[in-house]
Amino acid sequence: MSLLTTVMEHSLDDGYAEAAKAKGSAGPYRLPGTSRGRLMLALGLALAATVVTVGAVNTHEAAPALAKERDALIHRVNDATRAADRLQHQVEEDRDKVAAAQQQALQTGDGGLAELAAQTGTAAMTGPGVKLVIEDASGTGAGGNVSDPRNAEGFRNSGRLKDHDLQYVVNGLWQAGAEGISVNGQRLTALSAIRAAGDAILVDNRPLVPPYTVLAIGNGPQLAAGFQDNQGGRYLKIIQDSYGIKYALSVQKSLTLPAALGVTLRWAQPVVPTPTASASASASASVSAAPSTSAPPSPTSTRTGVATP
Tell me, yes or no, whether 201 and 231 share the same domain: yes
CA–CA distance, 135 with 105 (Å, rounded to integer): 41
Q: Does residue 285 lie in a domain region?
A: no
Query: What integer pLDDT is reported at residue 146 of this predicted model?
Result: 39
Query: Is the same domain home to 189 and 91?
Result: no
In the DSSP assignment, the letter for residue 292 is: P
Is residue 218 domain-shared with residue 90, that is, in the same domain? no
Number of domains in the chain: 2
For residue 182, the domain's CATH number is: 3.30.70.1880
* pLDDT one-digit tens code per residue, 20-57: 666 655 555 555 667 777 778 778 888 888 888 877 77
- Its domain, for residue 196, covers 124-142+157-262+303-309
Of residues 186 and 65, more confidence is placed in 186
Same domain, 165 and 309: yes
Higher pLDDT, 41 or 293: 41
Residue 271 pLDDT more than 70?
Answer: no
Task: Write the pLDDT tens digit of every residue in 190-206.
Answer: 888 999 988 889 998 88
Residues 69, 203 within the same domain: no
Amino acid 296 reads P
- Residue 239 has a pLDDT of 92
Q: Read off the DSSP letter of residue 151.
A: G
Do 217 and 131 lie in one domain? The reply is yes
- Is residue 233 located within the same domain as residue 136? yes
- Please classify residue 200 by burial: count the beta carbons closer than 10 Å to its beta carbon, then call 0-12 exposed, 13-18 middle and 19+ buried: middle
178, 216 Cβ separation under 8 angstroms: yes
Which H/E stretch holds residue 93? Answer: helix 35-108
pLDDT of amino acid 281: 44
H or E, element range at 107: helix 35-108
Residue by residue, DSSP assigns 188-218 as --TT--EEEETTEEEETTEEE-SSEEEEEES
Cα–Cα distance for residue pair 242/248, rounded to 1 Å: 16
Percentage of residues of the chain with pLDDT beyond 90: 28
User: Do residues 238 and 297 lie in contact, with contact meaning Cβ atoms separated by under 8 Å?
Assistant: yes
- Tens of pLDDT, residues 111-167: 566 677 777 887 888 999 999 999 998 877 544 443 443 344 444 456 889 999 999
pLDDT at position 195: 92
What residues have CB less than 8 Å from 186, skipping those under 6 apart? 192, 203, 204, 206, 208, 260, 261
Other beta carbons less than 10 A from residue 124's beta carbon: 14
Q: Between 237 and 307, whose confidence is greater?
A: 237
Query: Are residues 82 and 168 both part of a single domain?
Result: no
